[in-house]
Amino acid sequence: MSFSYSISASLALAAGLAVSTVAFAASPEPAAPAPAPLAGADRVTNAVAEFAGIDKITGRIITFDVYIDETVQFGALQVTPRVCYSRPQTEEPKTDS
């Protein structure tokens, strides 16, 4: 009897979650404002993009440079950067360590 009770309780819980999900999806949420585009002075255009890949067999990290619109193969992955931006050297990085 306890086995059939736990199945019934599980089905009731699943049905309740499905109803609450539908109710949540039906309520309109205000859209978040789009992020402001970067100003032209805040980024530097680069002719070469630098990638780092990991060899899953040896565990070594390999760094390689790719020119914009050039295709390079890394393992089974083909990489073709279209643009590469970076911050000016004078700007402080937005990471913590």
Q: With respect to residue 96, please indicate whether it lies within any of the assigned structural domains.
A: no
Per-residue pLDDT of 57-95, as tens digits, reads: 999 999 999 999 999 999 889 999 999 999 888 888 777
How many domains does the structure of the chain reveal?
2
Per-residue pLDDT of 18-59, as tens digits, reads: 333 344 444 455 556 655 555 556 889 999 999 999 988 999
How would you class 66 by CB atoms within 10 Å of its CB: exposed for 0-12, middle for 13-18, buried for 19 or more?
middle
Give the DSSP letter of residue 57: T
Question: What is this structure's pTM?
Answer: 0.49
Assess whether 22 and 45 both reside in one domain.
no
Assess whether 49 and 76 both reside in one domain.
yes
Cβ neighbours, 10 Å, residue 49: 20
Domain membership of residue 26 as a residue range: 1-30
Q: With respect to residue 76, please indicate whether it lies within any of the assigned structural domains.
A: yes
| Polymer length of the chain | 97
Q: With respect to residue 35, please indicate whether it lies within any of the assigned structural domains.
A: no
Assess whether 69 and 48 both reside in one domain.
yes
Assess whether 55 and 79 both reside in one domain.
yes
Assess whether 26 and 56 both reside in one domain.
no
Q: With respect to residue 97, please indicate whether it lies within any of the assigned structural domains.
A: no
